């Protein structure tokens, strides 16, 4: 079977797996969007997160991109409650303690509100509490790491969208859409 590489824009409230055997209620999974057999996500996004997933049937590349030892960057646009100050941003840049673990340093910058499709359902809106957007680039992927990092510095995450994995970007995909990788996108992966 030839190698397959798919980019998928995972919508909010979709599990990063093809089956859901743990829930009695029907939750949306990848099979509701992708009918390509024998591909699996590289890493995962929580149900309440959105954005870029790479799926493949190539186990070597899946391992290279998901194992934290290889430190491949993942970039997220994060809407947080309140406006982060320089001290909080510097803490994220240096790494923060979450539970019993110190995160690796992250690349962090404040963003203007990005042009993203609206989330369904929308985030909670509070008239008296402003929000801000931050871009975080991490080289590891612990469970709920971005949410725990922003909470640790006092700015809880309201919306989380992964926009890049290594050199791959969300680009023109809309929530629920997927496409095959282009040859120029595939070459850097094959060199891993």
Report, as residue numbers or ranges, the catalytic residues: 46
Distance CA 189, CA 62 (A): 10
Q: What are phi and psi of 53, to 5 degrees?
A: -125, 140
Residue 8 CB coordination number (10 Å)? 26
Q: Return all residues near 108 (Cβ < 8 A) that are at least 6 apart.
A: 89, 92, 93, 134, 135, 136, 137
Q: 103: closest CA among 80, 78, 136?
A: 136
Q: Return all residues near 156 (Cβ < 8 A) that are at least 6 apart.
A: 80, 81, 147, 150
Q: 110: closest CA among 145, 134, 89, 82?
A: 134
Q: What are phi and psi of 42, to 5 degrees?
A: -90, 105
């Amino acid at each position: 079977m030839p190698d397959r590489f798919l980019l998928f824009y995972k919508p909010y409230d979709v599990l990063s797996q093809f089956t859901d055997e743990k829930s009695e209620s029907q939750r949306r999974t990848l099979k509701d969007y992708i009918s390509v057999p024998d591909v699996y996500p590289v890493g995962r996004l929580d149900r309440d997160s959105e954005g870029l997933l790479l799926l493949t049937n190539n186990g070597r590349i899946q391992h290279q991109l998901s194992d934290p030892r290889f430190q491949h960057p993942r970039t997220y646009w994060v809407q947080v409650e309140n406006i982060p100050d320089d001290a909080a941003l510097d803490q994220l840049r240096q790494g923060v303690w979450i539970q019993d673990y110190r995160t690796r340093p992250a690349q962090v910058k404040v963003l203007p509100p990005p042009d993203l499709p609206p989330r369904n359902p929308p985030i909670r809106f509070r008239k008296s509490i402003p929000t801000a957007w931050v871009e975080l680039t991490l080289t590891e992927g612990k469970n709920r790491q971005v949410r725990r990092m922003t909470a640790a510095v006092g700015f809880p995450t309201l919306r989380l969208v992964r926009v890049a994995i290594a050199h791959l970007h969300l680009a023109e995909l809309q929530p629920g859409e997927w496409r095959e990788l282009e040859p120029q996108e595939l070459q850097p992966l094959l060199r891993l």
